[in-house]
C-alpha cells in the first residue's frame, strides 16, 4: 500500500486515492497500492429484437471474435425448415441484423454452431432430414453483416441426433458430438478440420457404448481437453461426463465419470470458466429444478463438486437451460425458460468446486418461450440470449444481458474513507477496529455487510464481506 503522511488515529491508514473518494464510503485496496471506492452494477437486460419474422426453432448462436459479430443459426419453418443463418452486431444493449442466408434448403435439425478462431470461420453442424438424417456440417464466412457458405459435408452416413459441438483451440479443430443411431445410439465424437470454406473429418470415435442422449460439450483451455456431458439411457439415465484428448484428426477418451445418479435429467448444457479453470455443467433435473455441477479436469479425467440448485422447481423452474461464460465479469450466465411463461437469466461465480448464484433476472415475460441459446460477445462484454417467441408467431427473438459487476472481492476491502478526496490525493482510511463516524441510517447492534455497489446491507452479498457492527445510526466499528 502506498501509505504516507500523518495518521490521525490508531487503525487509520493513508493511501493515494485512485478516483474520487466520498466520505464514509467503502474502499478497496488496488493491486498497485492505491485505494478506490467499492463500485458495481446490477445485471440488466435490453429490449427484444426480432431476427426472423417467421416461425423459427433449433436456434443456436456463436460469437465471431475476428469480426466482432454474433452469428445465429436456426431452422426456418417459414421457409420449408431450411437451415438459415444471420449476422448480428451488438451496440450497447441493442442488436441489429444483416440479411438471412440459407446454408441448406433441406430440413435441418439438431443445429449447432461454433467459431473456429484459427480459420476465423463458423462451423454449423446439423442433422439433415432431407438426406436420411445424416450428420452434416458446413463452413460459414462472415463479411460485414453478411455470411456466405461453402459446400455441406456429411460426417456421419447414418441417423445422427442429440448433437452438440465445441472448438478445441489447442489443436484448432471442431469437435462434433452425437448419438449414432446407426450404431445402437452409441455416444460418438468426430474431429473436423477447416480449410478455406470447407471442412474435412477424421474417423469417428465412440466414448459411450450405450444409448447416449442429451450431449453437451465444451473445451477446457487450461488442460487443453474436450469435456462431454450426457445422459446414459442404458444405465438408469445417469448423468455422465468424459474427457477427450484431440490428436491430429482423432480423439481419445479417459474414464467415464457419473456426476448425477439420483435425479431425472431432461436437458444439459456446459461451459468453461476460464477464470477458475473449471467446467460448469448444468441440467434440468426432476421437477424442473435447475442444477449446476463444477468439474475439475485432471489429466484425462474429471471430478465434480456437490450439486448446487439455482431454481427450486416451484416458484421458479428451469427448462432448456443454456450456459455461457462472461469473461468480463468472470461469471457463468445461465438462461432458461421459466415455467414456460418467461425467459430468466442467472449468473454464478465459481469458487473451488462450487458455485454461488446472484439474483435471478427476468429477460422476457410472455407465454410459450423456448428454444433458448446464449453466447458471450467479448467485444461489447454482453451476453446474447436468443429464443423462440411462440406467442408472437414463433418469431426468432433475442435480448442482450449484462452481467452484474463489482470491484470488491473477499480480500480487498480495507475500510471506509474518512473524508472526501480527489484522485491522487492522500486519503485517510478508517480500517479494522476503528470507528467510522460517517454513516447514516444504521441500527445499533446490527452487523452490516458491504454490498457489491458499495452500500451497506444486513445480508451478505456475493462475495460476502463484513463491514462491521453499528454502535449508533451513524457509527460503525470496522471489522473488515
Q: What is the pLDDT of residues 266-287, one digit of tens each?
A: 999 999 999 999 999 999 999 9
Residue 10's pLDDT is: 64
Residue partners of 451: CB distance under 8 A and separation at least 6: 40, 457, 461
DSSP conformational letter for 54: E
- Measured between alpha carbons, how far is 259 from 239 in angstroms, rounded to an integer? 6
Q: Please indicate, yes or no, whether residues 347 and 439 belong to a single structural domain of this protein.
A: no
In a domain, 147, yes or no: yes
Q: Which of 358, 326, 361 is nearest to 344 (CA)?
A: 361
Q: What span, in angstroms and rounded, lies between the C-alpha atoms of 242 and 236? A: 17
Q: Does 231 lie in the same domain as 249?
A: yes
Domain end position, chosen among 403, 428, 452: 403
Residue 215 forms part of a structural domain: yes
pLDDT of residue 2: 41
Is residue 3 in some structural domain?
no
Q: Are β-strands 405-406 and 40-41 bridged in parallel, bridged antiparallel, or unpaired?
A: antiparallel
Instruction: Give the distance from CA 214 to its chain's centroid.
Output: 18
pLDDT digits (tens, 9 = 90+) for 391-438: 999 999 999 999 999 999 989 999 999 999 999 999 999 999 999 999
Tell me which long-range contacts 31-38 makes (C-beta under 8 A, separation of at least 24): 32/2, 33/1, 33/2, 33/3, 34/2, 35/1, 35/414, 35/417, 35/427, 35/429, 36/407, 37/417, 37/454, 38/406, 38/407, 38/408, 38/413, 38/450, 38/452, 38/453, 38/454
**pLDDT exceeds 90 at position 367:** no
- Read off φ and ψ for residue 390, nearest 5 degrees: -60, -35
Pair (369, 458) in one structural domain: no
Residue range of the domain that includes 153: 44-403
| Cα atoms in the Cβ-side hemisphere of radius 13 Å centred on 269 | 26
Contact predicate 174/121, CB 8 Å:
no
Question: Do both 69 and 27 map to the same domain?
Answer: no
Is the Cβ–Cβ distance between 359 and 349 less than 8 Å?
no
Max CA distance (Å), the chain: 81
Please tell me the predicted confidence (pLDDT) of residue 3. Answer: 41
Mean local confidence (pLDDT), 357-377: 93
Q: What is the pLDDT of residue 461?
A: 86
Residue 251 pLDDT class (50, 70, 90 cuts): very high
Statement to judge: residues 453 and 372 lie in one domain: no
Q: Write the CB contacts of 84 (distance below 8 Å, at least 6 apart in sequence).
A: 52, 73, 74, 75, 76, 100, 101, 102, 103
- pLDDT tens for 121-167 read 999 999 999 999 999 999 999 999 999 999 999 999 999 999 999 99
Whether 157 is covered by a domain: the verdict is yes
Average pLDDT of the chain to the nearest whole number = 95
Residues 71 and 131 in one domain: yes
Domain's final residue, options 348, 381, 403: 403
Given a cut of 80, whether residue 289 has pLDDT beyond it is yes
Give the whole-angstrom CA distance, residue 320 versus residue 338. 9
Distance CA 214, CA 387 (A): 19
Does residue 198 lie within any of the structural domains? yes
**Does one domain contain both 356 and 460?**
no
Best CA proximity match to 344, nearest among 328, 360, 332, 325: 360
Is the model's pLDDT at 5 over the cut of 80?
no
Q: Could you give the number of structural domains in the chain?
A: 2
Q: Could you tell me the sign of the dihedral formed by the alpha carbons of 175, 110, 205, 155, in that order?
A: negative
Q: Do 345 and 270 sit in the same domain of this protein?
A: yes
In a domain, 230, yes or no: yes
Residues 50 and 321: their CA atoms lie apart, in Å, by 21
Q: Which of 376, 403, 430 is the last residue of a domain?
A: 403
Residues 237 and 96 placed together within one structural domain of the fold? yes
Strands 225-232 and 238-247, sheet pairing: antiparallel
* The pLDDT value given to residue 1: 41
288 with 365, same domain: the answer is: yes
Assign residue 335 the CATH number of its domain: 2.120.10.10
Residue 4 lies in a domain: no
What the block records as the C-alpha cell of 248 is 491430429
Tell me the C-alpha distance between 413 and 286, whole Å: 40
Residue 480 has pLDDT above 90, yes or no: no
- Per-residue cell: 69: 459479430
Whether 146 maps to a domain, the answer reads: yes
- The pLDDT tens digits for 300-355 are 999 999 999 999 999 999 999 999 999 999 999 999 999 889 999 999 999 999 99
Query: Average pLDDT for residues 178-198, to the nearest whole number?
Result: 98
Cell of 460: 451478505
Identify whether residues 385 and 465 lie together within a single domain.
Answer: no
The mean pLDDT value for 77-102 works out to: 97
pLDDT at 9 (0 to 100):
59
Amino acid at each position: 500500500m502506498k501509505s504516507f503522511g500523518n495518521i490521525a488515529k490508531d487503525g487509520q491508514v493513508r493511501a493515494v486515492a485512485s478516483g474520487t473518494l466520498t466520505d464514509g464510503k467503502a474502499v478497496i485496496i488496488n493491486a498497485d497500492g492505491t485505494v478506490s471506492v467499492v463500485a458495481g452494477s446490477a445485471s440488466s437486460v435490453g429490449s427484444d429484437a426480432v431476427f426472423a419474422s417467421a416461425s423459427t426453432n433449433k436456434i443456436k448462436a456463436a460469437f465471431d471474435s475476428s469480426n466482432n459479430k454474433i452469428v445465429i443459426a436456426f431452422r426456418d419453418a417459414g421457409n420449408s425448415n431450411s437451415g438459415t443463418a444471420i449476422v448480428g452486431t451488438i451496440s450497447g444493449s441493442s442488436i441489429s441484423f444483416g440479411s438471412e442466408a440459407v446454408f441448406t434448403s433441406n430440413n435441418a435439425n439438431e443445429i449447432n454452431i461454433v467459431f473456429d478462431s484459427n480459420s476465423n470461420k463458423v462451423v454449423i453442424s446439423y442433422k439433415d432430414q432431407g438426406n436420411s438424417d445424416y450428420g452434416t456440417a458446413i463452413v460459414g464466412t462472415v463479411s460485414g453483416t453478411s455470411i456466405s457458405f461453402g459446400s455441406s459435408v456429411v460426417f456421419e452416413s447414418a441417423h445422427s441426433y442429440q448433437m452438440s459441438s465445441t472448438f478445441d483451440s489447442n489443436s484448432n479443430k471442431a469437435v462434433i458430438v452425437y448419438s449414432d443411431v446407426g450404431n445402437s445410439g452409441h455416444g460418438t465424437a468426430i474431429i473436423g478440420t477447416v480449410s478455406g470454406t470447407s471442412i474435412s473429418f477424421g474417423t469417428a470415435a465412440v466414448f459411450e457404448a450405450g444409448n447416449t442422449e442429451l450431449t453437451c460439450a465444451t473445451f477446457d483451455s487450461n488442460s487443453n481437453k474436450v469435456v462431454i456431458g450426457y445422459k446414459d439411457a442404458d444405465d438408469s439415465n445417469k448423468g455422465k461426463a468424459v474427457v477427450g484428448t484431440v490428436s491430429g484428426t482423432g480423439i481419445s477418451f479417459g474414464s467415464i465419470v457419473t456426476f448425477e445418479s439420483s435425479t431425472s435429467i431432461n436437458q444439459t448444457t456446459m461451459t468453461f470458466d476460464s477464470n477458475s479453470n473449471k467446467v460448469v455443467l448444468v441440467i434440468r433435473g426432476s421437477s424442473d429444478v435447475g442444477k449446476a455441477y463444477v468439474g475439475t479436469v485432471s489429466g484425462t479425467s474429471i471430478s465434480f463438486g456437490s450439486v448446487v440448485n439455482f431454481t427450486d422447481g416451484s416458484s421458479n423452474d428451469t427448462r432448456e437451460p443454456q450456459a455461457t461464460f462472461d469473461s468480463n465479469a468472470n461469471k457463468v450466465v445461465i438462461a432458461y425458460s421459466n415455467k414456460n411463461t418467461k425467459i430468466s437469466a442467472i449468473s454464478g461465480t465459481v469458487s473451488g468446486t462450487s458455485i454461488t448464484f446472484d439474483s435471478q433476472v427476468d429477460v422476457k415475460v410472455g407465454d410459450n418461450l423456448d428454444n433458448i441459446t446464449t453466447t458471450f460477445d467479448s467485444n461489447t462484454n454482453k451476453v446474447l440470449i436468443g429464443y423462440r417467441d411462440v406467442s408472437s408467431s414463433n418469431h426468432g427473438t433475442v435480448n442482450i444481458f449484462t452481467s452484474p459487476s463489482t470491484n470488491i472481492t473477499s480480500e480487498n476491502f480495507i475500510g471506509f474513507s474518512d473524508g472526501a478526496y480527489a484522485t491522487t490525493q492522500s486519503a485517510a482510511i478508517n480500517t479494522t477496529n476503528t470507528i467510522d463516524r460517517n454513516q447514516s441510517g444504521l441500527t445499533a447492534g446490527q452487523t452490516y455487510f458491504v454490498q457489491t455497489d458499495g452500500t451497506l446491507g444486513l445480508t451478505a452479498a456475493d462475495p460476502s464481506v463484513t463491514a462491521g457492527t453499528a454502535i449508533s445510526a451513524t457509527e460503525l466499528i470496522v471489522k473488515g
